[in-house]
Amino acid sequence: MIEWYPANRAELNFVLEEYLSKKVKAVKNIHGLIVPHAGYEFSGAIAGKAYSLLKGKEFDKVIILGPSHYKGFKGIKALKEITTPLGKIKVSKNDYEKLDYEHSVQNQIPFIQKLLPNAEILPLVVGQINLEEAEEYAKKLISKNSLFVISTDLSHFLPYKQAAQNDKNTISIIAGLKFDSLKDLDACGVFPLLIGMKICKIKGYKPKLVEYKNSGDITGDKGSVVGYVAMWF
C-alpha cells in the first residue's frame, strides 16, 4: 500500500469498483465534480459516489484543479506525466510551468482512468490567486466537452461537532456561489474552489451535494477530524 491508494493494480481496481458501486441518483447533464483527496481508506468512498455519476458518460478532456500542499507559488502549474498502477495517463498539451508531484491532483487520476480511459487529462495545481484571477482562469479553461474535477478537503483537525458545523457552512457557500462569504470558506482547496465557483457562475451551473462525511465518521475518532464533501455541477 502506498501512501494514498493501493500500489497493486488488482487491489486498486477492486477498491475503485467498490467505491463506484454505491447507488446514487443519476443526473443527465454533468460538467464537474468537487471531491476530496485524502487517502482512499478515508475519503475514497465519498469521492467514489461523485465519480459514479460519470458512468455511461464521455468527455474528451478532464481538467483537474487541486491545491498545492508542498510548494508555495502564485498562479497555476501543471503536473508532468503521471503513471498509476492502472497505467500512464495522456496529459493534455499545455504551457504551464511543471511540478513533479501533488497528491490532491494525483489521487483523482485512478478514478478517471477507470471511468474515462480515453480522455486526455490536464492536471493543474493551483497556487495563490485572487478572485479576479480566478475568473480569468475560469474563462481560459472552459472548453467544449471537458469535465472539471475540483479537489479539496474541508475543515482540518477540529472536534467533530465543530467540524460538521464549519463544513455545513462551507458547503452552503459553495452551493450558493456566495462570493461575499469567501472569508468563511474553510477548505484546503480554496483556490481551486474559487475557479470552480467562477466556472459555475459564468456557465449558470449549480453545485449540488452528493455526500458529506468527516474522518470521525470513518474511523470513529471524533476528537480531531477532517471534512470530506462530494458535489457535482
Whole domain around residue 151: which residue ranges? 9-232
pLDDT at residue 67 in the model = 98
State the total domains in the chain: 1
Burial 39-56 (b: 16+ CB within 10 A, else e): bbebbbbbbbbbbbbbee
Answer yes or no: is 163 within a domain: yes
In the structure, what pLDDT confidence band is assigned to residue 1 with cuts at 50, 70 and 90?
very low
- pTM score of the predicted model: 0.96
Answer yes or no: is 153 within a domain: yes
**Residue 129 CB neighbours (<10 A):** 19
pLDDT digit string, tens, across residues 96-113:
999 999 999 999 999 999
pLDDT digit string, tens, across residues 70-90:
999 999 999 998 999 999 998
Chain centroid to CA 53 = 14
Q: Over 60: is that where the pLDDT of 2 sits?
A: no
99 vs 22 pLDDT, higher one: 99
- Residue 112 cell numbers, joined: 478517471
**Phi, psi at residue 102, to the nearest 5°?**
-165, 110
pLDDT at residue 23 in the model = 84
- 54-75 average pLDDT score: 96
Q: Are 121 and 74 in contact (CB under 8 A)?
A: no
Q: What is the CATH number for 90?
A: 3.40.830.10
